[in-house]
Structure 1
Amino acid sequence: MKIKMRLSIIVIVILLMVVVSLSVILLSRARNMQLQTVRKSTTNLAKSIALDLEARYEVYLHTAQNLASIMNDYEQLDPAVRRSQFNVNMLALVEANERIVQIYTVWKPNAIDHMDAQFAGRPGNSPSGQYVAMYTQTSGKTELAAYEDYERITGDLSDVVRIGDPMPRVVAGEQTYTCNIRVPVFNSKKELVANVGVTINMAYTQPVIQALLSDSSMAEISAAAAYTNNGTVIGSYDPARIGKDMRTADSVLFSSRIDEVADAIKNGTVYDVEEYSPLLKTVLQIVVHPVRIGENTAPWAVMIGTSEAVVLKEVNAMTVFTIIVSAIAIILASIVVYFVASSITNPIVNVALTLKDISEGEGDLTKAITVNSRDEVGDLARYFNQTLEKIKNLVIIIKQQAAALFDIGNELASNMTETAAAINQITANIQSIKGRVINQSASVTETNSTMEQITINIDKLNSHIEDQTSSVSQSSSAIEEMLANIQSVTQTLVKNADNVRDLAAASEIGRTGLQEVAADIQEIARESEGLLEINAVMENIASQTNLLSMNAAIEAAHA
């Protein structure tokens, strides 16, 4: 490849790398800034939706709390009108809000007026007269009845506000989900006496989510939902998911992080994640924000999912525009670089052509390269002309020296003929000496092998003598130790014999004065005689042992 093309390619590649690097850095920065902005806006939007839902549901919480506050002062009313007065209050509240499916109160037996027996079987009371009034609109009209689950409520009266999980219910002929809010009622002694409950139709939660998704100014929102604390879907971008557990209904949104989202909902914490949704076929920026209704310890949550494909639409358009502009700029720059490289390499091409003419011709060293510039290429041509001049002078000198060397070579040839004859004679003498040296070397090798065998035998004999000496030393030490042990035993036996003799003499002297112990002393005498016999035997053994020791010592010395 010509230098012009290589230079052009190198410059174009460097230019391409710079343009691509700057484009990638700038576009990545723009993308990250856009995503950060969208993440913040999504978080703020989720927070605003959560506040909206909190405000909507707190209306019903305040309704229940206001009714409970009225009932807290029940002791100020005439017992005969307490129940009817509270029924009027509940009726007014349920008729004032169509979203209230039912409103009820459950009192402990005889807690409200101690007149349960008088109200037994009446509407709003249990068969025993316990005050458990409920106004309901499930059939489309307002009705007074006894709360159907009053026994469970009586056994589980709550002293704090409770918001129950959604339950399916048919209201006015339509299937929907309802939520129950329970508030405690206390007497003047701060004793828990009743609960007031409001059951809310949650159907209007879905319109809030649907309105968010249908807002044209928020086209980037691809998914939205609302969940209760246990993960039940109460509003969703897909209405078919309402009432289902989000762990199964929305697993396609959160993929492997569905358990983390469920924990965040349960704990009431903000959670955001970037996740690819196979269902929507796009990457979602998902934010989950808690919804806290009053002081409830089991918050709900709202989820907003923003599509990166929509969010980054402008960034992607800018990316395409940048690629097109960069491609055009690189093409134009390549053309400019090509012509600039041509202007730089033309002088070099002229130098190459001149060198080619010299090399492929008859080697005319009288030619010179024309110098037309003062740059590096001009310096190259000028120095090359100087090099050719020096080579030409050197060739002339070599030609002169070659003739002189030819004469010297002829003279050396004649001298080498005489030298060759002398060398042949010397070679014959060396061959004769070589034969004699080979014979002498064989004799020396044989003698060396014999001496090595003798040395090995001497080393083995020396080892045997050392082993024998060590064995004799060990035997002598053992015999000496045995003799010392025998002498110790002998001395002990001699002392025993002396003691026996002393005992016999003492027994003989005391026999006259100790008649009462005569029998014992005789027995001692008999045993002493046995010991004397043993002593005699041991002395005999000792003498034989001494004899054996001496024999062993003699054998050891002989060895």
Structure 2
Amino acid sequence: MTFKSIQMKIAVFSVTCILGATAGLVGYSLYASGNSRTYVANSVSTLIERQTSESLQRLANTQAERIAATINQAFDAARNMARSFEVAAAGGPDSTPPAERRSQFNRILLNVLKDNPGFNGTYSAWEPDAIDGNDAAFRNRADAGSDATGRFLPYWTRDASGKIALQPLVEYDSQDLHPNGVMKGGWYIGPQTGKGESILSPLPYIVQGKNVYLATMSVPIMIDGKFRGVVGADYNLDFVQQLAQKVDGSIFSSQADVTIVSGQGLTVASSEHPEAIGGPFEKVDPALSRLRAGIESGKEQLDSTDESIAVSAPINFGRTDLTWSIVIKVPRAIALADAAKLDADLSDRNATDSMVQIAVAAVIGLAGAILMWLVARSIASPIIQMTQAMRLLAQRKFETQVPGVGRSDEIGAMAEAVQVFKDNGIKAKQLEAEAEETRRRQEVERERLA
């Protein structure tokens, strides 16, 4: 680019440098601010995710202990009854006469049910003629808790209104499976086959004519080292469902999913899908099927995906090897809402700061351009004036004033040189005038002599 004006040349190059430097600084500032925002947002998101996972795990462990404590109350009650029944039916000096055992044991079962309002029922099931050797006398005695076999099979139950009733146990010797895969008589057959204490759930059962799902806890009755029967207590799984819904309502504005799963992978309770109780866990949320192995082995688990954060905690019962697990799942967007809000706030703040920086840079650039224009003018103006003076001096107009004389800078040095040119021009003009005057006088003298 060719410039005809030194002022324009100085101004353009100066302004270009200022704007380039300003743009570079602002650009780097914007880039650094963006990186800082991204770093802060990612760090906060990671921190919140870790804290959320730890908080969910603590919550899951706390609720697991709460459920275990409730279920273990039934195990404790059943265990105490089993020890009492063993002593009463052992035939020793402290035993109860055979003729009184059925009525005595029924009173114990009834009183335990009354003393534990959370229980759905208490029961006992004996081997044939194991309690008093008189099953034949109690055939079809439903009022005494016996079926057509006469065996002692009382099941004391409480319905939703609190009404307590007695009915004989059914399907105690059935190895058939319910549609959900739970063995119908597993609560009896397990202890009978030497597997010790048993928890069976979710067990479909008919209580006072109503179909319910139960968690039933059985303890074997052992006399002289031989299996004689079981005694147990059970819960309607409604209490577990209520607990799941309560936990759900207390976290993340009820936007979490709380599911309680048996060791066999069956849904015991679900805050979001109560209709799935009794069925396979995968039907509640197929995406959580990867937790199945950990649930069966009774391990704590963390499952974090792009869509959700889920934790599980084992629920251990009595003296059994069986466990349940509580699974709490939260959508990632909900769990990390605070981090997302911070990121949005930082983005808004960054955008505002960027606009301010650009505006300030524009003001600085404009001020710099004006200043450089003035500086360029202050440099070019004396040169222009000097050029004009030299042009006039070249026309022998020696009366022209030389600008910049007396200045201490380069302009002053240039003015001194021009001043010398002027002075020399003036002297030359004077000499020419004197020579002309001499010629004129000589001419006049020549004419006079002639």
Given the two structures, how large is their TM-score scaled by the length of structure 1? 0.55
Instruction: Name the CA shift for 1:349/1:298 in 2 (closer, same or farther; >3 Å).
Output: farther
Match of 1:196 in 2: 231
Partners of 1:249 and 1:4 lie apart in 2 by 65
Match of 2:170 in 1: 148
Partners of 1:246 and 1:266 lie apart in 2 by 12
Matched AA of 2:198:
R
Match of 2:113 in 1: 94
Q: For 1:166, what is the secondary structure of its paired residue?
A: strand
Match of 2:152 in 1: 131
Given the two structures, how large is their TM-score scaled by the length of structure 2? 0.68
Match of 1:103 in 2: 122
| Deviation of the 1:10 alpha carbon | 1.9
Instruction: Name the CA shift for 1:312/1:101 in 2 (closer, same or farther; >3 Å).
Output: closer
Give CA deviations for 1:158-179 in whole Å, capped at 9, x if unaligned. 5411111213345456553112
- Determine if the alignment matches structure 1 residue 167 to structure 2 residue 231: no
Partners of 1:150 and 1:321 lie apart in 2 by 64
Does the Cα contact within 8 Å between 2:252 and 2:334 map onto a contact in 1? no
Q: Give ranges in structure 1 of 5+ residues lacking alignment.
A: 277-282, 365-369, 371-377, 386-559
- 1:397-476 aligned at under 5 Å gives the runs none
Task: State percent identity of aligned pairs.
Answer: 19
Instruction: Name the CA shift for 1:334/1:127 in 2 (closer, same or farther; >3 Å).
Output: closer
Instruction: Name the CA shift for 1:166/1:175 in 2 (closer, same or farther; >3 Å).
Output: same
Partners of 1:329 and 1:265 lie apart in 2 by 50
Match of 1:224 in 2: 258
Match of 1:177 in 2: 213
| Deviation of the 1:32 alpha carbon | 1.4
Give CA deviations for 1:345-395 in whole Å, capped at 9, x if unaligned. 9389949x97xx99xx9xx9xxxxx9xxxxxxx9xx99xx9xxxxxxxxxx
Does the Cα contact within 8 Å between 2:252 and 2:335 map onto a contact in 1? no
Match of 2:43 in 1: 29
Match of 2:283 in 1: 248
- Range moving further from structure 2, 13-22 or 237-246: 237-246
Q: For 1:286, what is the secondary structure of its paired residue?
A: strand
Does the Cα contact within 8 Å between 2:157 and 2:208 map onto a contact in 1? no
- 1:256-295 aligned at under 5 Å gives the runs 258-276=288-306, 283-295=307-319
Partners of 1:50 and 1:155 lie apart in 2 by 27
Partners of 2:364 and 2:169 lie apart in 1 by 95
Partners of 1:126 and 1:317 lie apart in 2 by 66
| Deviation of the 1:290 alpha carbon | 1.1
Partners of 2:292 and 2:133 lie apart in 1 by 47
Q: 1:78 aligned to 82, 88, 97, which one?
A: 97
Matched AA of 1:275:
T
Give CA deviations for 1:59-90 in whole Å, capped at 9, x if unaligned. 21222111111112122222222222112111
| Deviation of the 1:137 alpha carbon | 4.2
Partners of 1:165 and 1:144 lie apart in 2 by 22
Partners of 1:164 and 1:300 lie apart in 2 by 11
Q: For 2:151, what is the secondary structure of its paired residue?
A: coil
| Deviation of the 1:3 alpha carbon | 4.0
Q: For 1:164, what is the secondary structure of its paired residue?
A: strand
Partners of 1:317 and 1:116 lie apart in 2 by 72
Partners of 1:219 and 1:139 lie apart in 2 by 30
Match of 1:15 in 2: 29
Partners of 1:144 and 1:81 lie apart in 2 by 18
Matched AA of 1:104:
Y
| Deviation of the 1:220 alpha carbon | 7.0
Partners of 2:226 and 2:211 lie apart in 1 by 39
Partners of 2:37 and 2:349 lie apart in 1 by 11
Give CA deviations for 1:258-317 in whole Å, capped at 9, x if unaligned. 3321111111111111235xxxxxx32211111112232121111112343334333333
Give CA deviations for 1:456-476 in whole Å, capped at 9, x if unaligned. xxxxxxxxxxxxxxxxxxxxx
Match of 2:393 in 1: none
- Range moving further from structure 2, 105-114 or 336-345: 336-345
Q: 1:43 aligned to 32, 57, 71, which one?
A: 57
Aligned residue pairs total 349
Give CA deviations for 1:206-256 in whole Å, capped at 9, x if unaligned. 1112222233x64275211211122222222222333332212212xxx2x
Q: For 1:296, what is the secondary structure of its paired residue?
A: coil
User: Root-mean-square deviation (CA), in Å?
Assistant: 3.5
Matched AA of 1:79:
P
Q: For 1:151, what is the secondary structure of its paired residue?
A: coil
Partners of 1:28 and 1:184 lie apart in 2 by 56
| Deviation of the 1:336 alpha carbon | 3.9
| Deviation of the 1:15 alpha carbon | 0.9
Partners of 1:333 and 1:209 lie apart in 2 by 53
Does the Cα contact within 8 Å between 1:226 and 1:236 map onto a contact in 2? yes
Match of 1:479 in 2: none
Instruction: Name the CA shift for 1:98/1:172 in 2 (closer, same or farther; >3 Å).
Output: farther
- Determine if the alignment matches structure 1 residue 186 to structure 2 residue 222: yes
Q: 1:60 aligned to 74, 90, 98, which one?
A: 74
Does the Cα contact within 8 Å between 1:219 and 1:310 map onto a contact in 2? no
Does the Cα contact within 8 Å between 2:18 and 2:368 map onto a contact in 1? no
Instruction: Name the CA shift for 1:158/1:95 in 2 (closer, same or farther; >3 Å).
Output: farther
Instruction: Name the CA shift for 1:10/1:110 in 2 (closer, same or farther; >3 Å).
Output: same
Q: For 1:113, what is the secondary structure of its paired residue?
A: coil
| Deviation of the 1:18 alpha carbon | 1.0
Partners of 2:210 and 2:148 lie apart in 1 by 31
Does the Cα contact within 8 Å between 1:135 and 1:143 map onto a contact in 2? yes
Partners of 2:314 and 2:155 lie apart in 1 by 31
Match of 2:435 in 1: none
Does the Cα contact within 8 Å between 1:133 and 1:146 map onto a contact in 2? yes
Match of 1:314 in 2: 338
| Deviation of the 1:5 alpha carbon | 3.5
Give CA deviations for 1:91-112 in whole Å, capped at 9, x if unaligned. 2223444544443222222333
Q: Give ranges in structure 2 of 5+ residues lacking alignment.
A: 1-11, 175-184, 391-403, 415-450
Instruction: Name the CA shift for 1:150/1:43 in 2 (closer, same or farther; >3 Å).
Output: closer
